[in-house]
Structures are given as C-alpha cells and as structure tokens.
Structure 1
Amino acid sequence: MPDLQTPILDHIVILVSHESLLGISKQVDGQFTLAPGGNHADGLTTNKLILLPDGVYLEFIAFFDNIDPEKRRSHRWGNEQENTIIDWAFTLRSEEDFSAVQQRFKKADTEASYTDPIAGGRTKPDGTVLKWAICVPQQPHGKIVPGSLPFWCLDRTPRANRVPCEVEPQLTQHPNGVQGISSVSVHVPEGEASRFKGAYDAIFGGPWNYQVPSGSAAGTRSVSLSGGENSVRLVFRGLKQGKVELLPGLVFEIEGQ
C-alpha cells in the first residue's frame, strides 16, 4: 500500500478567456457534465470544473477582463497560452505530510524546491468558503515554467467541499464515459529533462506513480517526462476507447477499460 506521502493527483488547470469560460457549457455539451466553480480570493480569476469519478477534476480558469493588466502579468499563470493545459496539481491526505516531500528535496540532486504552504481559497456560488494552501516549484536561478513540475494544493477545509464528487455524484457522470485520468506526460525543452528528473524522483520518492482521491487502482496512474515543447498531456480512462476534444485543438486519448 502506498505511504502517506505518495502524491495524489488533484486537478488539471486549463486556461481560457473569460468569454470562453462563460460559454464553456456549450463547448463540453454532450461530452462532459459541468460543475460550478467560483471566484478566487485574489479577485483576479474565476473557474468552472469537470469532476471525474476517480476524484480528480479539470479546472477551466479565466482571468476577469477588467483587472489591472499588470496584476495579470505578475500572476504565475498570467502570461500562459489560453486553451491549453497550463499547470497541474498534486495533493496529500494531510498538509502535515508535505514536510516529508520537502525533506526528500533537501536530499535530492536538483536545484528545484517547493515554497512553504501559501494560503489560498475561493467562495462557491452558494457562499461556501473554501480554504487551502499551495506550494509552488521554484529554483535559485530562473523561472520554472508552470506545468514543468506540478504544484501542490493542500486542503484546509474538507476536500469534499471543494470537490463534491461523493456529495453530488451525478456531476461525475459524463456522456463520453470518461472515468478518470490514467496518465500524465510532461514535456520540457530538449536537454532539460535530465535536470527535472531529480525533482520528480524527489516528488515520488520511488516509482513515478500517483494515487487518485477515490483510491481507485485502475489505469497506469503514472507520470512520464520527455524533451520537446513545454506542454502537459493526459490520457483519460473511460468505458470505451476513443478521443475527446476539450477545446478546439485540445484533443486527448481515452483509454478503454
């Protein structure tokens, strides 16, 4: 059985324009069931979600159009390309377990590390206040492109409030039969994969396999790293094999059971 520090895949972040977010229900109609999101505590962004049966979710996030352009540029996602996966997050059963991950980084052969937990949150449309802490990757010299390494989202209020898969199971049922995320592949610029390998070894502390919130053992639940243009790709797990187009040009494989 995985130990308490085995990463749990939490969510995938997809940046869209605010206009696209307002019309996202039409884009995913007939493919996915859309769940409401809310506005983030910083007042810069808002989101909508797709909850998957394995407990992982997809987050469509958008910056409000009327915010200060400089505030957007200074945000870690403010300069990323819209209509793409820009980041992804792990979580743990308890925020206290993150110290073991940080200890592994101190012993690892890598310049990368993670910040200490930074408080965050948002308010749901029904008024429920969600609180969490995030830990983002960093290095002494230069910026780590979002998505090259996952960030961590550690709940300070019950995860079931943030991701109501068990409370509202109907939101996890999708017309295309997608059941969860089978694998994640990360692409970094040619020649940098070896630099990131030590960081991934420290994240996992062993084989690069993650858990999912539901505890399901289906799919490979693996992460791979290779050279290429910066990007994050997914393989979904579903009732039958196929493909799904999340956004125009953003197409992913569905691995049949």
Structure 2
Amino acid sequence: MSSPTTPLVDHIVILIPYSFLSAPPSWFSDLFHFYPGGRHSDGLTENTLVLLADGSYLEFIAFVPGVDPEKRAAHQWGKKKEGTVVDWAVTLPSSSSPSSAEEEARFLEQEKQFHEIQKRVRDANAGIVYGDLRRGGRTRPDGEVLKWAVAFPKHDDGGPVEPGTVPFWCLDVTARDLRVPYTNPGVTKHPIGAVGVAKVEVLPEKQKAVESAGGVYDTILDTEETAEIGKSWKIGSPVGEKVHSGGVIRLDASDGLARVNISFFTDDPGLVGKSVGGEVDEDHTLTFHLVAAFDGKV
C-alpha cells in the first residue's frame, strides 16, 4: 500500500502526428481502445486518451493543422519529435469524494503533502526543484467540470528542465475518476492486453542531467534492485496492485538524443516479451515493449 506522499504514475504524454487522430494508420488503431479527448483551451493541440486498468492513462497529443509555428515553438512540447514520449506525470494517492466541499478538503490535504515533497526535493540540492502548483481544468462535453493542479520541474536557477527528465505533478481537485474514468465498462480492454505502465526508461542526453534527475528520484522514490546498467526506482499506480506487480523507473545516459521509453504490463500471455508499434515517418518508429502483468521481468 502506498503512503500518502508516495508518487504514483498518473499519465504518459506521447506526441503524434495530427493524422493519427483524424485518420490513424491501422497499426496504431489496432494497439489500444481509445477514449475521446478533445481540443485544449489554447487551441494548439488535441488529444485522445488510453485508459489503463491500473488507473493511469496515456495521452496521445497532436498539434492541430495550421498552428502558428512561433506558438508551436514556444509550447513546452513544441520542439519534440512526433512519435516520441515527450513527458510524464505523477500524482498522489486519492479517492472519490461525494461532495465539492469534501473534494476541496481532500485536495488541500494533498497540496500540503506536495509541499512536503517540494521541500525535500529542494533540500536535496540536486539542481532540480519543483515549482508551485497551478490550478487548471476543463469542462467535459457532458457539462461536468474538471479541476486539477499541476507543478513542473525547473532548474534551481529557474531555467527549464528537458521535459520527461523527471515527472511533473498532476493532482486532482475534483474526483479523479471524473478526469480518468477507467472504471467505465470496457474502456480498459486493449488489443495488446495493456493493463499498466511497467517501466519508464529515462535517458537524458548529458551525464549532468542524469545526476540531477537521480537526486530527485532518490528523494521521492524507493530504489529498485536490478541487474541492469543504470539506476532504477519502484513506482506505483493508482490501483496497480490489483492488476500487476508494480512498475520501475530506470535512469541512464542516452547513447544519442534525450528520450523516454515506455514498457507496458500485458495480461495476454501470447504477447509477453514482444514489442508492438509501427512507423510514424520514414525516419522514426513508435514502439512499446510488453511484459507479464505478474512475475514479469521489467
């Protein structure tokens, strides 16, 4: 059972071409059951979601056609390559609340917990800190109002951190299952049997970034013993203990450009050990590795 201040995987952000939303290639549409997303309030991006049985989700996001190049370049993911994992978020253990007053009280308690984590990371002097929580939200097509708060990492001198090097935070103000309705019938049944995030492999370009990120992970997560090169930490998910054996964060220097790789737990024995995905463009493919939901080697 996770403690109140143990980070859990909230969601993974994957940048895709807009055509993957409007006319997805068959290899892409055959991977997951997609849940409707929509256009963001800034008008620059649209998304579609993949809800997972462990309570986390994938956000496949795309820049809309005709977007102003300068506005795209200024976006936090605007310079990222399509067909790559561009960022990921963690949250804190939460539960549904029956009234708005109780939801607000629950969030204020989570905000207090986040401030404790924020202070620990700052005191670790790793070179990376977390900014304060900023509230956000959106209204669903059915009129339901969703509210949340996010906090992003930055260097201690105020400079930006390469997205994905360490996670950003996403805490719910309204009940989490309104934003992530993974309990709805059938929405977490996927052709590849994906039930949760098995591994987030973070590979910064520079060794200094590896060292700074390692200081953050040492502060917020428990170390995982592994035979792999690099360092690993344990990571949970909102209801992961019900569907898989628990995820891992692995950190090491990249052999090229900075990148983040994702592996999934699958409940399909025939797909264990395989990689799935396909071609995004003539120079790049998007692939995910699959491991057994329980007793699998991540």
Q: Is the 8 A contact 2:10 2:57 kept in 1?
A: yes
Q: In the aligned structure 2, how far is the partner of 1:159 from the partner of 1:180?
A: 17
Rounded to whole Å, the distance in 2 between the matches of 1:103 and 1:65 is 41
2:251 to 225, 240, 251: 225
CA distance in 1 between partners of 2:70 and 2:137 (Å): 22
Cα RMSD, aligned residues only: 2.0
Structure 2 contact 153–160 (Cα < 8 Å) conserved: no
Q: TM-score, normalised by structure 1?
A: 0.91
Aligned residue identity for 2:253? G
Which segments of 5 or more consecutive residues in structure 1 lack a partner in the other structure?
Answer: none
Question: Equivalents in 1 of 2:169, 2:87: separation in Å?
Answer: 11
CA offset at residue 9 of structure 1?
0.1
8 A contact 1:39–1:122 mirrored in 2: no
Q: Please state if 1:47 is matched with 2:47.
A: yes
Give how far 1:143 is off. Answer: 2.8
- 147, 165, 170: which one aligns with 1:148: 165
Question: Does 1:251 find its partner at 2:287?
Answer: yes
- TM-score norm. by structure 2 comes to 0.79
Distance 1:25 1:128 in 2: 32
Q: Show CA shifts across 1:64-105 (max 9, x none).
A: 224333222211111111111000000113333211210111
Instruction: Compare CA radii of gyration and give the structure with the larger one.
Output: 2
Matched with 2:216 is 199
Gaps of 5+ in 2: 94-109, 224-232, 294-298
- Residue 123 of structure 1 and its aligned partner are, at CA, apart by 3.3
Q: 2-side partners of 1:39 and 1:158: how far apart?
A: 22
Any idea what SS the aligned residue of 1:186 has?
strand
Residue 246 and residue 88 in structure 1: after superposition, are their counterparts in 2 closer, same or farther (change >3 A)? farther
Report the equivalent of 1:157.
174
Are residues 1:213 and 2:199 paired? no
Report the Cα distance in structure 2 between the residues aligned to 1:246 and 1:107, rounded to whole angstroms: 43
Please tell me the residue identity of whatever aligns with 1:256.
A
What is the distance in 2 between the residues matched to 1:37 and 1:247?
23
Which of 235, 244, 255 does residue 263 from structure 2 map onto? 235
Number of equivalenced pairs:
255
Q: Indicate the residue corresponding to 2:138 in structure 1.
A: 122
Identify which of 113, 134, 145 aligns with 1:97: 113
Query: Is the 1:131–1:157 Cα contact (8 Å) retained in structure 2?
Result: yes
Q: Which residue of 2 aligns with 1:38?
A: 38
Q: How far is 1:25 from its partner?
A: 7.5
Is the partner of 1:172 in helix, strand or coil? coil
